[in-house]
């Protein structure tokens, strides 16, 4: 099926370090072979060359654009580059080691965004290709027991999502200086403040290997630093204090490694000392809306 001339255009931004050639090729192919057709694919080499892709040669390169960033600028700024380069009304983000579970994802995304003008983000369901139970963190809500249940949410998964490009640009995109961790929540809170909706859509499915976030060397430090920045940038001060106290207690209860706790508090101190970027605290009505959605901005 081909889209009509007046239908929303879909782009897909895939960020890569150039070191997963077969996986990247699979990701690109899953975007190019969507039955809805006309998906523009932008592959961003984040501080790396993009290797030749067999799927592009096999299917055709007319809908594929390659962008190379000289240095590794991190995940959020890499995706910002991709959004600036693409021309779609809706942008799907895909990890280079993920792929769409079927060829109808783009059609579903296009229909939802066309019918719901206040919808800013769809967060996809992530499935383990090996048939595992999946990871709780892939369901962006507190009650994550049933990943097959769709619901409104207050954050989303960056590498498994679709975003209305005009809304993304309206609030300034992802905070590039975060580099990694919590950049989606920063964007989500700003979108909610503008009256947009964010939904977890269990009918949009992508596959991704089941890997722990702690595989990243700086996970604990960046996780803590960016939590502090998130609060400083977006929350009224009383909520910011509650949010950070809450996460200090949760970290001390959850973590058993003294090395992990030490790294986390190192990042926490960095978050306090270093510039967080523009402060635009959400209105109290936005915080109340998040409470009614089941995730107040203190958790």
End-of-domain residue from the set 211, 228, 258: 211
pLDDT reported for residue 147: 93
Question: Is residue 1 in some structural domain?
Answer: no
pLDDT reported for residue 131: 79
Structure tokens at 221: 């430090």
Q: Which pLDDT band holds residue 3 (cuts at 50, 70, 90)?
A: low
One domain, residues 130 and 192: yes
pLDDT at 1 over 50: no
Instruction: List the beta bridge partners of residue 110.
Output: none
3-state SS track over 159-173: CEEEEEHHHHHHCCC
3-state secondary structure of 78: helix
Q: Which pLDDT band holds residue 59 (cuts at 50, 70, 90)?
A: confident
Q: Which pLDDT band holds residue 61 (cuts at 50, 70, 90)?
A: low
The residue ranking higher by pLDDT, 239 or 35, is 239
Query: Which percentage of the chain shows pLDDT scores above 70?
Result: 95
Question: Is residue 299 in some structural domain?
Answer: no
CA atoms within 13 A on the CB side of 287: 17
Question: Is residue 155 in some structural domain?
Answer: yes
One domain, residues 97 and 197: yes
Q: Which pLDDT band holds residue 248 (cuts at 50, 70, 90)?
A: very high
Q: Which pLDDT band holds residue 53 (cuts at 50, 70, 90)?
A: confident
Q: Is the dihedral of CA 56, 61, 64, 67 positive or negative?
A: positive
One domain, residues 118 and 183: yes
Q: Indicate the pTM of the whole model.
A: 0.94
Crossing angle of helices 183-193 and 284-292, rounded to 10°: 110
End-of-domain residue from the set 211, 240, 257: 211
Question: Is residue 55 in some structural domain?
Answer: yes
End-of-domain residue from the set 189, 211, 233: 211
pLDDT at 36 over 80: no
Q: Which residues of 89-102 are buried (b: 16+ CB within 10 A; e: fewer)?
A: bbbbbbbbbbbbbe
Instruction: Find tokens 């994802």 and name the residue.
Output: 105
Distance from chain centroid for Cα 209: 16
pLDDT reported for residue 216: 63
Question: Is residue 72 in some structural domain?
Answer: yes
Domain membership of residue 54 as a residue range = 10-211
The whole-chain average pLDDT of the chain stands at: 93
Between the two ends of the chain, the Cα-to-Cα distance in Å is 43
One domain, residues 102 and 248: no
One domain, residues 90 and 201: yes
Distances from the Cα of 152 to the Cα of 3, 206, 212, 229, angstroms: 27, 19, 25, 25
One domain, residues 58 and 22: yes
pLDDT reported for residue 198: 98
pLDDT at 37 over 50: yes
Burial of 133 (0-12, 13-18, 19+ CB in 10 A): exposed
100 within 8 A of 41, measured Cβ to Cβ: no
One domain, residues 96 and 182: yes
pLDDT at 17 over 80: yes
pLDDT reported for residue 121: 98
Instruction: Find tokens 């889209």 and name the residue.
Output: 3
One domain, residues 204 and 226: no
Question: Which CATH number belongs to the domain containing residue 64 in this structure?
Answer: 3.90.550.10
Question: Is residue 145 in some structural domain?
Answer: yes
Q: How many domains does the chain have?
A: 2
The CA distance from 234 to 198, in Å, is 17
Largest CA distance in the chain: 58
- Per residue in 181-204, pLDDT (tens digit) is 999 999 999 999 999 999 999 999
Burial of 107 (0-12, 13-18, 19+ CB in 10 A): middle
């Amino acid at each position: 099926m081909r889209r009509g001339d007046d239908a929303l255009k879909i782009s897909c931004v895939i960020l890569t370090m150039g070191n997963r050639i077969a996986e990247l090729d699979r990701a690109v192919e899953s975007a190019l072979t969507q039955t809805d057709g006309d998906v523009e694919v932008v592959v961003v080499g984040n501080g790396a060359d993009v290797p030749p892709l067999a799927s592009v040669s096999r299917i055709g390169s007319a809908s594929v654009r390659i962008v190379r960033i000289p240095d590794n600028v991190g995940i959020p700024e890499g995706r910002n580059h991709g959004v600036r380069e693409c021309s779609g009304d809706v942008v799907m983000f895909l990890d280079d080691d993920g792929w769409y579970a079927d060829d109808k994802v783009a059609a579903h995304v296009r229909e939802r965004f066309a019918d719901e003008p206040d919808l800013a983000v769809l967060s996809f369901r992530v499935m383990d290709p090996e048939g595992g139970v999946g990871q709780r963190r892939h369901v962006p809500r507190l009650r994550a027991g049933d990943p097959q249940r769709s619901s409104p949410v207050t954050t989303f998964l960056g590498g498994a999502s679709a975003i209305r490009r005009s809304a993304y640009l309206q609030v300034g995109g992802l905070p590039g200086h975060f580099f990694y961790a919590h950049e989606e929540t920063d964007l989500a809170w700003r979108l909610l403040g503008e009256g947009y909706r964010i939904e977890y859509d269990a009918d949009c499915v992508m596959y991704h290997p089941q890997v722990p976030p702690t595989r990243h060397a700086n996970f604990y430090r960046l996780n803590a630093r960016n939590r502090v920045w998130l609060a400083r940038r977006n929350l009224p001060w009383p909520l910011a204090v509650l949010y950070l106290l809450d996460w200090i207690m949760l970290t001390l209860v959850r973590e058993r490694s003294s090395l992990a706790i030490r790294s986390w508090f190192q990042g926490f101190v960095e978050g306090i000392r270093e510039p967080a970027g523009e402060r635009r605290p959400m209105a109290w009505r936005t915080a109340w809306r998040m409470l009614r959605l089941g995730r107040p901005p203190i958790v």
